[in-house]
Chain A
Amino acid sequence: MRLRTTAVVGSLVLLTGCGAADMTQQASPFANARGTKTVTLSVQSWVGAQANVAVAQYLLEHELGYRVDTVQVDEVPAWDALSQGRVDAILEDWGHPEQEQRYVEDKKTIVNGGGLGVTGHIGWFVPTYFAEEHPDVTDWKNLDKYAGLLRTPESGGKGQLMDGSPSYVTNDQALVKNLDLDYKVVFAGSEAAQITQIKQFAKEKKPFLTYWYSPQWLFEKVPMTEVKLPPYEEGCDADPANVDCAYPHTPLQKYLNAGFAKDGGEAAAFLKKFRWTTEDQNEVSLMIAEQKLSPEEAAKKWVDSHESVWKAWLP
């Protein structure tokens, strides 16, 4: 009996313990099923990011002969996955200084892949029909006047400022406190919930105040006007608890896994060159989100009509 246990333990050790296994160099079991070259792209949950990935995927598959896998994960975990090589590229990043420091500067497992060509901006928005009725609502100093109109059961006695997905960059709670506004931040918890709620409000022409960002396809569906916050100055958002200024305009960045950037061949070269405009991205986003085309169909439509743009990206 003793001998047998030793044998079992021994063979187990042999089976599992003899070599080191590096988890970080591991692909998805679903990747590469047909034996072709594969690229794995991270899709973030918002539609603009889906549009980037859809077009890149379409071109990689139809022009360069790759197979593309997509993984949907939130932004910060996506950085982690990118560093581990589970994902080869993130096509749209809104600025994560902490992660940049850790992975790009210190560990050197991720490299910057250049700009996406799109500039992102976060802000507070009211629907345009409401702003036309009350033009002074677009200055933060007058917001308190309208708190009563923007009240919901969820915000109690105060006005409601609706925030979305927990994965997005937000200073809203600090802003409300530091600007001493009579508002309560209500977290919708997911972008899907936030968009659904905005659409319901818009259908009834009800006023609302929401955290939102551009480029975003919803602007075409529900026109919104930005509320001016105290202007952004370099470094005014350094301390998260003391932020009292607007959000900056961020040129969105691409990031590649370091190993992939070096040995990724045509795919890596293509993704580095991938660069388009806000209008292009919105066109694809709208097809996906409003016309309910599948991302692939939307990408095909855009690719068919913008040959001059994407020809320049091919290696």
Chain B
Amino acid sequence: MATITATAQKASPPGILANRAVRKLLILAAAAAILVPLAHAQWSSGTWPAAFTVDVSEPLGKASDWIIDNRDGHPLFLYFFGHVSNAVVLSVRAVYLALLAVGWAGVTAVGALVAWRVAGVKLALGTAAAFLACGLLGMWVPTMQTLALMVVAVLASVVAGALLGLAAGLSDRMDRVLRPVLDTMQVLPAFAYLLPVVLVFGIGVPAAVLATVVYAAPPMARLTALGLRGADKEVLEAVESLGTTARQRLLTARIPLARRELLLGLNQTIMMALSMAVIASVIGAGGLGDRVYQALASVDVGAALAAGIPIVLLAVVLDRVTGAAGERLVDDAPAAPAQWAYALAAAVAVAVAGRLAGLLEWPEAWEANIAEPVNRAVDWMTAHLYSGVPVVGGTADWAGRFTTWVLDPLRDGLQWLPWWSVLLIVAALAWLIGTWRTALTAVLALAAIGVLGVWKPSLDTLSQVLAAVAVTLVIGFATGIAAARSDRFERWLRPVLDVFQTMPQFVYLIPVVALFGVGRAPAVAAAVVYALPAVVRITAQGLRQVDPAALESARSLGATSGQQLRQVQLPLARPALLLAVNQGVVLVLAVVIIGGLVGGGALGYQVVFGLAQGDLATGLVAGAAIVCLGLMLDRVTQPTGRRTAKGA
């Protein structure tokens, strides 16, 4: 039965799609037939016509000057931003001092005991090991700085996100207003938030925390709303029939029923906050990110890695613990308060004992230096792979060929196309895959890029993104299929994916340049490394979730394993594969700015330039163009209702 539907599905889409698609294309063609000659007659050059651009650099420059001149006198700053900023500094400082006062032994014990209570013995051991590893790498103090910043940022994000989510979950009107905003925020690359925040709050921790909150709150809001809306109608009716008030229903039924989504939201918020806390080192966040960033200056991959590993460990531990807590919360009754009391007492005991024994600061004798061996390994690798490898050629040769044969033609092609034809192609693609609404958004986003006057660099960036997405999808689908078919391979792959997904992108800047030289090729490589884990995961998950009955019947019909894959698994996993494409695009775009740091040029370089020179006009315009590109690509690759979870 299932096989029949599978094959039927496979056969039917072309027919239906063709009809609808042809109709859509005909309408577009008609519109084009009228508009294009007009446009062509007026502005015949290939690039975006100058008549349609708006020069925003002057007002932006003025705004930036005004802020700098009034920052220490205007009431808006004194009575509002000043207090926000002070509150952030005070709370981060309080958490940081508390962490230092508890000492390394105490922090490790508290971490492990909390993990034990919410997630079990195995994760408790893992947590303790992770904390000790941070100390061992000589990164205890920076780790605590990052942790303090994270605690404040995550709490603020959760509160803000939960409030927005409550509003959207309870009121349909709020939901309609908030949803597109949250959808858009999900697509924004993290760097885009930095510039405006820096301008208002200046370099330092307040700006970093606020940028992190803005970046990390949306998933909490989305998932809260989703949880509240998804509550079982029958349960709610039953509760209502008991004569409860609206508030009682919310507190006793709707929120408890949504706890799985709430915890998933917390998990997502923590992960995003951590990645942002690292990126925010560019604007003076301090902590681990700053160490990574400083190591870059002396081209010291080993030192960067030593600071990057604690970030990975923190991320993996926080992810697993909140994930396990979510599952437990749903399965079992909550743990008895008595056990919590024991855990608390034990933690206090360890902290006090640590204090008395003088175990506050991590002893220097216990630090291991991994920088040197890592540097030697990286040197060896780059020296032997860079060029002159027999038969296949070195990585530098590949990069050269990739630039000449893929990136150059793609960029030149896109820039050669008349501007209206680019709009038309995007409209057609978006409409074929989505609705007229998504098509309209995509076209408007692309037009906005032209209006901002960054048409050419944007197409350059677009060509890099397209090439990176193509490479990511080829490798990602292949790896994902392999992981779905072999349990052993997947078990081995999981930690590797974890590391690549959470490792700060700054760490692999140098190896990427050492292998591929300076230019657009290393930028593409960095993007592929960053986007690959999510694509592999979603693909493998999608393939594994294919109905076993369908597979079974295919097998009983004598299908070979290759046939099963091609004719049953892949078609049935189509939604997951499309989601993988969408996520791949969004993630690749998020690394465009990192690409600017290794010679990618175009929009990424302009944002970096804007941040480095405090040039709001260049940076913000390029940032806005990246956002528009993101919106356009997201809409073009978004088939149905969007799923939750960025980076799954």
Chain A residues engaging chain B, CB cutoff 8 angstroms: 16-17, 20-24, 26-30, 33, 43, 45-47, 50, 71-78, 80-81, 84, 86-87, 102, 152-154, 156, 162, 165-167, 186-197, 199-200, 203-204, 288-289, 292
Contact = CB atoms under 8 A, between A and B. Distances in A.
Nearest to B598: A193
B371 interface: yes
28 contacts: A17-B79, A17-B83, A22-B72, A23-B71, A29-B90, A30-B148, A30-B286, A33-B97, A46-B297, A71-B204, A72-B293, A73-B284, A76-B612, A77-B198, A81-B204, A84-B72, A86-B204, A86-B284, A188-B513, A189-B518, A189-B608, A193-B518, A196-B518, A203-B383, A203-B386, A204-B387, A289-B298, A292-B302
A27 B521 CA distance: 41
B117 to A, nearest CB: 29
B299 interface: yes
Contact of B92 (A29, A187, A191): A29
Contacts, number: 218
Contacts of A17: 79, 83
Given A189-B600, A200-B514, A166 B605 contact: yes
A200 B520 contact: no
B43 interface: no
A188 B290 contact: no
Contacts of B97: 33
A159 to B, nearest CB: 15
Closest 10 CB pairs of A and B: A21-B82, A167-B612, A154-B519, A29-B93, A166-B609, A153-B403, A20-B78, A76-B614, A29-B92, A153-B400
B613 A167 contact: yes
A190 B205 contact: no
Contact of B510 (A28, A192, A203): A192
Nearest to B375: A292
Contact of B518 (A46, A47, A154): A154
B85 A21 contact: yes
Contacts of B300: 292
B33 to A, nearest CB: 37
A186 B521 CA distance: 13
B284 A45 contact: no
Interface residues on B, range: 35 or more
A35 to B, nearest CB: 10
B86 interface: yes
Given A43-B294, A187-B605, A23 B600 contact: no
A20 B608 contact: no
Interface string B608-648: 11011111000000000000000000000000000000000
Given A22-B82, A72-B293, 19 more contacts: A28-B205, A29-B96, A30-B148, A45-B297, A47-B298, A71-B203, A73-B283, A77-B614, A153-B404, A153-B519, A186-B518, A189-B601, A189-B605, A190-B509, A190-B597, A192-B299, A196-B514, A197-B518, A203-B383
A191 B612 CA distance: 12
A196 B80 CA distance: 45
B178 interface: no
A124 to B, nearest CB: 16
B270 interface: no
Contacts of B201: 23
Contacts of B514: 196, 199-200
Contact of B613 (A27, A76, A189, A203): A76
B286 A292 contact: no
Given A81-B284, A189-B600, A21 B518 contact: no
Contacts of A77: 198, 203, 283, 611-612, 614
